[in-house]
Amino acid sequence: MRNFEQGRVWNRACLRIVAKGFGRAPSLKLLRKRPATGGQAGAGKKDQIGGDIALCTVSPHFFSGMFNFTTMPGFNRSDSINLLSKLTFRRAWNGIRVLGSYYVSKWTKSPVQWGYPVSISFEPTTSCNLRCPECPSGLRAFTRPTGMLQRDFFTETIDQLYKDLLYLVFYFQGEPYLNPDFLDMVSYASGKKIYTATSTNAHYLNDNNARRTIESGLDRLIISIDGTTQDVYQQYRVGGRLDKVLEGTRNIVKWKKQLKSRTPFIVFQFLVVKPNEHQIEDVKKLAKEIGVDDVWFKTAQVYDYENDPNHLIPTIDKYSRYRKTENGHEFKGKLANHCWRLWHDPVITWDGLVAPCCFDKDAQHRLGNLKEKTFKEIWNDGEYKQFRKNILKGRKNIDICSNCSEGTKVWENS
């Protein structure tokens, strides 16, 4: 009964909380016992916990703000409009409830979960053609098996989630284009009106794959380019060829123009490390020359940041997650006892394991197996609740949180 009454109070309050949760305040109105009117952004909805009738009017800035906050470094008008075009009333209401439950949990220090994930990362494969020094896939350092996501399993899972799911990232570990069914799965998700994104090293963007990528309906394509000359590029992207990256990018730009498509939004992601920090301006010029939509500069996660054995931590402070000390380096982040990821953005591995977030790269904190239970059973199961409770008690006691970027600045725009 206590939890029920808590739900009554906070489910009505959560919409007001949202306005404080982001720098861009939405337009929010709560009108009790009033019927919905047609054509509004939010229609009348029966409060599933409190039992009251509430009308919620939410400006589009709320949702663009939510995704700027969690998955992208800045605002792009075209990309944001495309994201908003995927909204349905059900997805919007689900997002509000999820965000509200997060703030309730944060304030009360007791895990409350309303709704289902707004975003999911689905892993196409753990295989990769490169050997990047700070990547478990590149280092072949997994304890879990390597394999490929099967299309039937993917479609079955999406069928469980698509009505509430707004955003789908086809990436966790590995190179997505190594999975032969990857673009077919993108097409399936696009057909469900889900915003789709992926990250690639671009070595497999031949002419045919580039055309199929445009035709798949992919909404965002992030291309990793960590140097503008081969000698610099290969210092982090070990085994990679810059000419293949540039050829693949040009193929994507060409087919996007020829097919007169507004998508995907094409991004150069430049992981700033010490060997390439002098090429920041060069990659901006290269992107403009090729016709890439934006360049994002990402700070690097370094596992042994105290010693930095590979000499990757950049000297430019704003592009580093770490600060220099007398004894080496220390993490800039503050491990506050809450984490937005646990409430809205789980990870599903290629073989069906549900992990709490993208920092659990080896899926050691397994919260369920989709080969054994439905996603909704796992999402509301005791293991998930306990993990959220542990986060609220003390993130410093959880290994994957010790070097997590939550609460720190990860991205810079060009």
Q: Exposed e or buried b for every residue in 212-241, given b needs 16+ CB within 10 A?
A: bbbebbbbbbbbbbbbbeeebbbbbbeebb
Give the residue among 135, 214, 218, 127 at the shortest CA–CA distance from 175: 127
Taking the alpha carbons at both ends of the chain, their separation in whole angstroms is 52
Q: Tell me, what's the pLDDT at 311?
A: 86
Residue 117 and residue 136: Cα distance in Å, rounded? 26
- Is residue 255 within 8 Å of 209, Cβ to Cβ? no
User: For residue 340, what are the CA distances in angstroms to 14, 113, 345, 398?
Assistant: 15, 12, 8, 15
Name the nearest CA neighbour of 339 among 105, 15, 166, 10.
105
Cα dist. 379→97, 204, 345 in Å? 15, 35, 11
CB-based contacts of 31-36 (< 8 A; 24+ apart in sequence): 31/55
- For the CA atoms of 132, 137, 139, 143, the dihedral, rounded to the nearest 10 degrees, stands at 160
Enumerate the β-bridge partners of residue 323.
330
Neighbours of 189 (CB within 10 A): 23
Query: Rounded distance, CA 173 to CA 77, Å?
Result: 29
Whole-angstrom distance, CA of residue 257 vs CA of residue 252? 9
pLDDT of residue 64: 43
Strand partners, 221: 198, 266
Token pair 């409770």 in the structure block, residue? 389
Q: Which residues contact 17 (CB under 8 A, 6 or more apart)?
A: 99, 100, 103, 104
Listed residue (107, 121, 11, 118) closest to 65, CA to CA? 118
Where do we find the tokens 């730009």? 253
* 34-62 burial: b if 16+ Cβ within 10 Å, else e: eeeeeeebbbbbeeebbeeebbbbbebbb
| Contact of 205 with 252, CB cutoff 8 Å | yes
pLDDT per residue rounded down to tens, the chain (414 residues)? 444 444 444 444 444 444 443 333 333 333 333 333 333 333 333 333 333 222 233 333 344 445 444 445 667 889 999 999 999 999 999 999 999 999 999 999 999 999 999 999 999 999 999 988 877 776 676 788 889 999 999 999 999 999 999 999 999 989 999 999 999 999 999 999 999 999 999 999 999 999 999 999 999 999 999 999 999 999 989 999 999 999 999 999 999 999 999 999 999 999 999 999 999 999 999 999 999 999 999 888 787 777 778 888 888 888 888 788 878 887 776 767 778 888 899 999 999 999 988 777 787 888 999 999 999 999 998 898 998 898 888 777 777 776 666 655 666 665
pTM of the prediction? 0.81
The Cα–Cα gap between 184 and 249 comes to 20
User: So what's the pLDDT on residue 180?
Assistant: 97
**pLDDT score recorded for residue 198:** 97
Q: Measured between alpha carbons, how far is 251 from 207 in angstroms, rounded to an integer?
A: 6
